[in-house]
């Protein structure tokens, strides 16, 4: 897949090995990690390209619009839509300007739209009904907890989790009800995902994006609490360091 080879340091493959090739097989999508930053914050944006049609989607684009334009040019991809996992500013920052520039839709769950008030001319409210971009099947999975309408997107064997599931942990929960919802969402992912599914979170702490779910399951303690009450007690424990939230590798 040389035509999808990364051409700069901000565009990386999504298989966690740093080799610079799009993570794909003969028929599956190519996943590129686009690393962006603003001050202390560092995010992973994702460009997913259908190698059969060169149609692509972006996940949670933020901050460095020239980097995203360059990624699309380097991969010779045509942007056909923007997937938003949730409405926090660092995940929606460039959704409107990119949708305007490329004349493409923005997808967000109807629950998140209602809770956040996010609006855009190109916005489409989604449920869990899958749809296709090129040959890629996009399957939304509603995973509330970090926000009321968080969504993970399953594209082939690639899951884009935003701030729901990190390789090392899970997103912040605002109170007991949210933590209980997060527990249920993580249990749902455990039931739904195959061991070989690759996990692509919105932020990187210690391990690179593209970890196999079987490996994440082996070391992520938040996937092993027996019930929502013990999960919430630990997730909401006192003494957690806000500074550590930005201790990215």
For the residues of 2-46, what is the DSSP string, one character each?
A: GGG---STTEEESSSS---S-B--SSSPEEEEEEEEETTEEEEEE
pLDDT band at 213 (very low <50, low <70, confident <90, very high): very high
Average pLDDT, the chain: 88
pLDDT band at 242 (very low <50, low <70, confident <90, very high): low
pLDDT for 6 equals: 35
pLDDT for 11 equals: 55
The mean per-residue pLDDT over the stretch 72-88 comes to 96
162 within 8 A of 146, measured Cβ to Cβ = yes
The mean per-residue pLDDT over the stretch 105-117 comes to 98
pLDDT band at 14 (very low <50, low <70, confident <90, very high): low
Q: How far from 164 is each of 8, 144, 190, CA to CA, in Å?
A: 28, 8, 13
pLDDT tens digits along 180-211:
999 999 999 999 999 999 999 999 888 999 99
pLDDT for 26 equals: 54
Tokens 């196999």 belong to residue = 212
The mean per-residue pLDDT over the stretch 44-65 comes to 96
pLDDT for 244 equals: 55
pLDDT for 21 equals: 41
Q: How far from 57 is each of 76, 77, 127, 156, 177, CA to CA, in Å?
A: 13, 9, 18, 13, 32
Is the entire prediction scored with pTM above 0.85? yes
Secondary structure percentages of the chain, helix, strand, coil, to 5: 30, 30, 45
């Amino acid at each position: 897949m040389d035509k999808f080879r990364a051409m700069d340091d901000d565009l990386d493959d999504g298989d966690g090995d740093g080799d610079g090739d799009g993570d794909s097989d003969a028929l599956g999508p190519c996943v590129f990690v686009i690393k962006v930053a603003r001050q202390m914050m560092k995010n992973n944006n994702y460009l997913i390209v259908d190698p059969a049609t060169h149609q692509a989607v972006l996940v949670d684009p933020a901050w460095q619009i020239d980097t995203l334009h360059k990624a699309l040019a380097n991969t010779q991809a045509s942007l056909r839509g923007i997937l938003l996992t949730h409405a926090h500013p660092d995940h929606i920052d460039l959704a409107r300007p990119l949708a305007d520039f490329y004349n493409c839709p923005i997808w967000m769950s109807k629950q998140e739209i209602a809770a956040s008030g996010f609006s855009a001319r190109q916005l489409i409210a989604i449920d869990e009904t899958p749809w296709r971009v090129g040959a890629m099947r996009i399957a939304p999975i509603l995973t509330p907890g970090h926000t009321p309408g968080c969504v993970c997107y399953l594209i082939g064997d690639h899951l884009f989790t935003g701030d729901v599931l990190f390789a090392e942990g899970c997103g912040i929960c605002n109170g007991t009800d949210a933590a209980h919802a997060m527990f249920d969402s993580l249990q749902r992912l455990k039931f739904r995902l195959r061991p070989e599914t690759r996990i692509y979170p919105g932020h990187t702490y210690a391990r690179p994006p593209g970890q196999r779910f079987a490996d994440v399951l082996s070391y992520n303690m938040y996937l092993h609490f027996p019930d929502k009450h013990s999960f919430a007690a630990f997730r909401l424990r006192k003494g957690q360091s806000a500074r550590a939230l930005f201790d990215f590798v």
